[in-house]
Amino acid sequence: MLPWADEFMYLTSMPCKTAEEREIRDRRAFLLHSLFVDVAIFRSIAAIRYVMESTDVSTSIKTDEVLHSETVGNFSITVTRDSSDASCKLDTKIDGSRATGMDSKHLAERNLLKGITADENTAAHDVDSLGIVNIRYCGYVAVAKVNNYEKTIVTSFKPADITDQPEGGAHALNINSLRMLLNEANATGEKKLPTQSHMLEELTAAQTYAENVLKESLQNLEEEETDKQSFMRWELGACWVQHLQDLKKSDKDKKQGDGKEKKKMVDKDVKETKIEGLGKPLKALKHPKNAVDASGKGSSSGNKSLTDATSSGESQKVKPSSVEPLQGDCITSENEILLKDVLLDSAFTRLKDSETGLHQKSPSELIEMALKFYDEVALPKLVADFGSLELSPVDGRTLTDFMHTRGLQMRSLGQIVKLSEKLSHVQSLCVHEMIVRAFKHIVQSVIAATSDMRQLALTIAAVLNLLLGVPESEFSGSSPAVHPLVWRWLVAFLKKRYQYELTGQHYDDVRKYAILRGLCHKVGIELAPRDFVMDSAFPFCKQDIISLVPVHKQVACSSADGRQLLESSKTALDKGKLEDAVNYGTKALAKLIMVCGPYHRMTAGAYSLLAVVLYHTGDFNQATIYQQKALDINERELGLDHPDTMKSYGDLAVFYYRLQHTELALKYVKRALYLLHLTCGPSHPNTAATYINVAMMEEGLGNVHVALRYLHKALKCNQRLLGPDHIQSVPGDMSR
């Protein structure tokens, strides 16, 4: 086995001053991290299966008890039992308190300082995050981690020769191959089914067991205090610094613009000073320059200290004595010394050169200011981007990605719902995601409480029936058609974790297939592909649960330079600078292929963006080729129903339509429309836009009446979601 600590620490010593040096470093970091993740997952699954087969420990249900541990060199794996209490949230964050061994206060300070000093080398130099993987599997939690970084001596270390992935990564680790089959009869194709009465008896007994687990968890949840976590994502710090720099730049541009305008007005007054009265223009005043200079001197001499203070960024008050500034300077110098002690010299210099003044603040002041930025700027800005359709999440995964890249935590979903009063599709998406997360804890706890693996398929089917089925007993008109115990759990969980009051009206609009899809993705449940009758008491049976797939958390490793080039290409495209957009997009694609390989999801994103740019330049043939490559990668790497795959279907349909392959375009666009209905439903801007594309293609085939029907759907959808005055409502209205 590789000396992982030495290999990861070697990354921090590699040259990284130029883009070319960083490309070489990033490629090695990507290959090393990918190899580590593969080894960590394989060995962790093997360790969990060893624990499951050991009769002496398989019945243990203590959460913190280490059931198995193994260490090879500086690589270690520990296996614990998942919590059977749904109200207990295990810390499985890559940079959480459990992984770092730090308390919440110091961890928040560490992450914030990492964010405000971040640059293109931050991800590659964060060896602690690179060297850890968390795996949840069949009611167990495994943590694979690299230790003893402090004992590593990089100067005398000779790095191993890590070979490139075969076929560019096309045959990378397929985590589905590590599934635990729960229904052997279904997997082998046998059709022998139990009698209906026996199956109902089994499901009823298993559901009673799940209800008991839920009752205990609900009691613990109602007794716990409101969750007030102080965890902070490091991305928030990076976004905060960017925001402060943008503010300073806009203020500087505004001052320069005001100065030029003022100078222009003064010059105009000097040349053509006229005083009009009683309809007869008088002569220009004599010596106006002296008058202006005199007035200027008079005002500047009286406010000299105020002007100096303002221009230097210091206090805007006239200082009566020299005591206060001395005290302020002392505090500032103490804060700088404090930050210098916890930061590397290069990081502190970077923070100071950012010209944000944050280097003069203490860690506690930085935390307070960052939290204020979080509530007053970051959250409203996210909602504003949703409203402008600059961001348009279609499911929980895209919503989570959008929030995490901005340093926002999912506990803020309740606040986002309140801020999105006029965006019903955003509110619906947030409510669905909160419900999915609430249900996830129940399913995970029931799986963890089941000691007999032979009964796991039945137990999972029973808990899904409990959560998504309609109870046969009468329920009150004030509560929705859901089990009373489940409803109490939802209301309490959303109130405690998200500070959100769930009502029956919210749940009546829930799309159960979207909930089921999100639940399977988060827990790792593989279901039989059939149409489930969600209005029944028992929509799921034992034979529907095929397997459990490992669910893991790892840090994303790619190229910061490549991501920056992608953002530059997007910005240039938004501004209509197509030539710059093509240049940036081409460079981004080349860099991401070099770092991540030709079959990575980041590479697919670069292909997709460059295809859109080329489409706007009129190069439809090359745009279609690139979009087809993006689709091939997304289908292979992300799956047929992933949001990126959906987008590729829709974009490719438009490109084929412009190439006059209308029938082929219609097949792709209807595939995209089907997936959008499955994930975000008919009331979403992306669905409305797809309606318009379908109408356009149906009209091209001569189906005018079908086209009008889709246009009418798009118009109603946009007007309901965005209002009649929104720009997205205009195309449907004009085409009606």
* Same domain flag for 526 and 548: yes
148 pLDDT tier (thresholds 50, 70, 90): confident
* Same domain flag for 615 and 724: yes
Assigned domain for 701 exists: yes
* Same domain flag for 565 and 686: yes
- Res. 692: pLDDT tops 90: yes
Q: Which residues contact 474 (CB under 8 A, 6 or more apart)?
A: none
Assigned domain for 204 exists: yes
- Please tell me the total count of domains within the chain: 3
Q: CATH no. for residue 727?
A: 1.25.40.10
CA distance 50 to 79: 10
* Same domain flag for 504 and 567: no
* pLDDT tens digits along 631-684: 999 999 898 999 999 999 999 999 999 999 999 999 999 999 999 999 999 999
> In angstroms, how far is CA 392 from the centroid of its own chain?
12
- Among residues 551, 546, 522, 533, the alpha carbon closest in space to that of 465 is found at 533
CA distance 617 to 306: 53
For residue 260, CA distances in Å to 266, 269, 304, 354, 663 come to: 10, 14, 21, 26, 58
**CB burial readout 511-550, b (16+ within 10 A) else e:** bbbbbbbbbbbbbbbbbeeeebeeeebbbbbbbbbbbbbb
Assigned domain for 425 exists: yes
Token pair 């000396």: residue: 3
231 pLDDT tier (thresholds 50, 70, 90): confident
Token pair 């402008």: residue: 388
* Same domain flag for 711 and 651: yes
* Same domain flag for 160 and 203: no
**CB burial readout 681-693, b (16+ within 10 A) else e:** bebbbbbbbbbbb
CA diameter of the chain: 109
- Res. 95: pLDDT tops 50: yes
Q: SS in 3 state form for 434-499? A: HHHHHHHHHHHHHHHHCCCHHHHHHHHHHHHHHHHCCCCCCCCCCCCCCCHHHHHHHHHHHHHHHC
431 pLDDT tier (thresholds 50, 70, 90): very high
End-to-end CA distance of the chain: 66
Domain extent at residue 641: 560-735
> In angstroms, how far is CA 427 from the centroid of its own chain?
17
What is the radius of gyration, based on Cα positions, of the chain?
30
* Same domain flag for 536 and 653: no
* Same domain flag for 77 and 144: yes
- Among residues 369, 373, 376, 408, the alpha carbon closest in space to that of 391 is found at 408
Helix (H) or strand (E) holding 289: helix 288-302
* pLDDT tens digits along 311-327: 333 333 334 444 444 55
- The token pair at 732 is 């449907």
Average pLDDT, the chain: 85
280: β partners: 277
CA distance 466 to 204: 10
* Same domain flag for 522 and 637: no
* Same domain flag for 41 and 161: yes
- Res. 269: pLDDT tops 70: no
The domain boundary residue, chosen from 536, 553, 570: 553
* Same domain flag for 731 and 623: yes
* Same domain flag for 215 and 92: no
More confident residue, 192 or 348: 348
Assigned domain for 433 exists: yes
